[in-house]
Amino acid sequence: MKTERQISSGGVIFRRNPPSTPPLEKGGEGGIEVALIAVKDSTVWCLPKGLVEKGENIARTAHREVKEETGLDGKIIKLIDNIHYFYSHKEPGETKRFFKIVYFFIMEYTHGDVKDHDSEVDDCQWFEIDEALKKVEYEDEKEILKKARDMIKAM
């Protein structure tokens, strides 16, 4: 079976001291929220991401996908890391195999509302970062979130 390569990009969009929490001292873990999306009939919570389109670089894709899938806009701070995996997709008459690389960027929220997510996702919500770590379905995305948490604490 032939394996096709796919490149995707996404982001961890965060905000500090959201309206629902009291202000914290710099460096504290509380008071930081990240947006997660729900897919597969709202059974899987994950990070927003999508395929790089022709003419885009990975940062532009991350910005576009986060905005489309969450309804939120943000400023890209820097690359967090990438993950990679194989998956198969059944189509009539054949099964395709893919090797996918996903680059994740840390993004600071500037504006927007999670209610404005697109129809590709079932839901989008803000979660306190430690709660988000428990919610995220995929282990490799948990590692991305941990790295993002450490980066935010260091800012």
**HSE on the CB side for 70, CA within 13 Å?**
32
Per the prediction, the chain carries an average pLDDT of 91
> Do the Cβ atoms of 34 and 14 come closer than 8 Å?
yes
Superfamily of domain 9-79+104-154: Nucleoside Triphosphate Pyrophosphohydrolase (3.90.79.10)
pLDDT at residue 84 greater than cutoff 60: yes
Q: Of residues 58 and 23, which shows the higher confidence score?
A: 58
pLDDT at residue 39 greater than cutoff 60: yes
pTM above 0.85, yes or no: yes
Burial of residue 78 (CB within 10 Å: 0-12, 13-18, 19+) is exposed
pLDDT at residue 28 greater than cutoff 50: no
Q: What is the pLDDT of residue 107?
A: 98
Q: What is the pLDDT of residue 91?
A: 82
Q: Binning pLDDT at 50, 70 and 90, where does residue 7 land?
A: very high
